[in-house]
């Protein structure tokens, strides 16, 4: 029997040197995780579950923890018998040759954030952000460390959809698309939040382009959406029942549902210092709130033809948008739009291959582009 992968996110700090206008997460606190917490995580996981474990370092800005922290943490964690691998999400401003060599040694998959060309990116993320991130991206690339990208689309940058697409395609950058969200930690992010219909339109527009460019770069969201439609189940955390399959550990050892909740006391499930079991986490009030989200989705989305693809979306998104766990992801309309478009095209392709005489046209569009099925079958 193939074991599933259990995802543990390690958040060394919520501090961050950048000051993105739409940020909903970082609080610029100075607390930093001690290596003793890594030891406690290892002890906790030794009896917690026997699934394969993938670790992601996130923040805040995780590289603020420094080289010595990662040298020791990666060494300690690499000795876990059921290790699946490591990831890290960072603005990479502090990435240097020593860290690059260390991350290559432990096969750490690194992701960073860029919101498109310099003018668009720096308007949203701050003057100089683009130059600092791209300089270290080029350094990492020259040393053989692969960097993936996260693009956050806001109410502002949505109007530059073509420019964004061409930037990532021309730079051959593999990326994930995030819609800017409102925030539970203040209203600074709210004016930047992306409308769900605008999000859906962008995804469909990019799908049209991407089907001609599958050999040039990777848009992970569209890959996963097509895989989800083909397999009739979500293949990305946004489109899966992530409750309990992903957990995050904050700087003090507190356990949260995921990195987005770190620092929010109402969503502490436990602490690694007490070696809580899975059943212990389920007894927390935070778990009760998460289950309210799951119950709401099960009841209110049961007639939706796409519920098996998206599972109601992201619990954090729902809680932030509606100030209650009894809600679904506010990007629901966007998900329905893109899943509907993919399903329509996929069904058409199945019909073309199954019905005698119903063949593709000889138009340039049909012969020169990839198909939805090509996209859904990408490894």
Q: pLDDT tens across 137-168, in order?
A: 999 999 999 999 999 999 999 999 999 999 99
Q: How far apart are CA 42 and CA 26, in angstroms?
A: 26
What is the model's pLDDT at position 354? 62
**216-230: string of b/e by CB count within 10 Å (b at 16+)?**
ebbbbbbbbbbbbbb
Identify any residues that bridge with 219 across adjacent strands, giving them in sequence order: 175
Identify any residues that bridge with 89 across adjacent strands, giving them in sequence order: 111
Strands (DSSP E) contained in 194-317 are 246-249, 254-256, 270-271
Alpha-carbon torsion, ordered 222, 179, 4, 110, to 10 deg: 90
Q: How far is CA 74 from CA 78, 105, 133, 272, in A?
A: 6, 10, 23, 18
Helix and strand counts by DSSP (H, E) for the chain:
15, 9
Instruction: Name the band, by pLDDT with cuts 50, 70 and 90, for residue 342.
Output: very high
Identify any residues that bridge with 8 across adjacent strands, giving them in sequence order: 55, 247
Q: pLDDT tens across 240-269, in order?
A: 778 888 999 999 999 999 998 998 899 999
**Which contiguous run of DSSP H or E holds residue 108?**
strand 108-113
- Whole-prediction pTM value? 0.90
The answer to whether residues 338 and 316 touch, using CB atoms and an 8 Å cutoff, is: no
User: What is the phi/psi pair of residue 311, to 5°?
Assistant: 55, 30
What is the model's pLDDT at position 371? 87
Report the share of the chain in percent with pLDDT over 90.
67
Report the share of the chain in percent with pLDDT over 70.
91
The answer to whether residues 200 and 338 touch, using CB atoms and an 8 Å cutoff, is: yes
Q: Tell whether the model's pLDDT for residue 76 goes beyond 70.
A: yes
Q: Tell whether the model's pLDDT for residue 282 goes beyond 70.
A: yes
Can you spell out the DSSP letters for 163-209? HHHHHHHHTT--EEEEE----SS-SSSGGGPPPHHHHHHHHHHHHHH
CA angle at residue 144 from 146 to 71, to 5 degrees? 80
The answer to whether residues 46 and 9 touch, using CB atoms and an 8 Å cutoff, is: no
Which single residue is written with the structure tokens 């059943």? 279
What is the model's pLDDT at position 317? 86
Q: Tell whether the model's pLDDT for residue 210 goes beyond 90.
A: yes
Q: Tell whether the model's pLDDT for residue 83 goes beyond 80.
A: yes
As a whole number, mean pLDDT of residues 72-90 equals 96
């Amino acid at each position: 029997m193939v074991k599933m992968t259990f995802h543990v996110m390690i958040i060394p700090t919520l501090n961050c040197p950048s000051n993105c206008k739409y940020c909903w997460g970082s609080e610029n606190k100075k607390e930093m995780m001690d290596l003793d917490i890594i030891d406690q995580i290892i002890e906790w996981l030794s009896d917690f579950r026997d699934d394969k474990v993938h670790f992601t370092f996130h923040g805040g800005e995780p590289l603020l923890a420094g080289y010595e922290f990662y040298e020791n943490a990666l060494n300690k964690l690499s000795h876990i018998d059921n290790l699946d691998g490591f990831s890290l999400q960072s603005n990479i401003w502090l990435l240097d040759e020593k860290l690059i060599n260390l991350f290559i040694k432990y096969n750490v998959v690194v992701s960073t954030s860029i919101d498109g060309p310099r003018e668009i990116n720096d308007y949203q993320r701050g003057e100089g952000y683009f130059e600092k991130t791209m300089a270290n991206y080029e350094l990492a690339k020259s040393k053989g460390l692969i960097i993936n990208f996260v693009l956050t689309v806001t109410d502002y940058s949505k109007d530059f959809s073509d420019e964004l697409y061409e930037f990532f395609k021309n730079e051959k950058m593999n990326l994930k698309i995030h819609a800017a969200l409102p925030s539970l930690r203040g209203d600074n992010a709210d004016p930047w939040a992306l409308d769900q219909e605008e999000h859906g339109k962008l995804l469909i527009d990019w799908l049209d382009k991407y089907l001609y460019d599958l050999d040039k770069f990777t848009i992970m969201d569209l890959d996963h959406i097509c895989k989800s439609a083909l397999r009739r189940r979500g293949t990305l955390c946004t489109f899966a029942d992530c409750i309990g399959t992903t957990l995050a550990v904050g700087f003090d050892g507190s356990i949260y549902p995921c990195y987005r909740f770190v620092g929010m006391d109402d969503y502490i499930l436990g602490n690694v210092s007490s070696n809580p079991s899975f059943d212990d986490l389920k007894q927390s009030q935070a778990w009760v709130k998460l289950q309210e989200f799951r119950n709401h989705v099960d009841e209110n989305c049961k007639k939706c033809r796409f519920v098996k693809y998206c599972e109601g979306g992201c619990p954090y998104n729902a809680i932030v948008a509606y100030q209650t766990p009894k809600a679904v992801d506010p990007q629901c309309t966007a998900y329905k739009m893109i899943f509907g478009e993919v399903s329509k095209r996929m069904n058409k392709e199945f019909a073309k291959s199954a019905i005698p005489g119903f063949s593709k046209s000889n138009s340039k569009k049909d012969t020169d582009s990839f198909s939805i099925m090509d996209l859904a079958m990408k490894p």
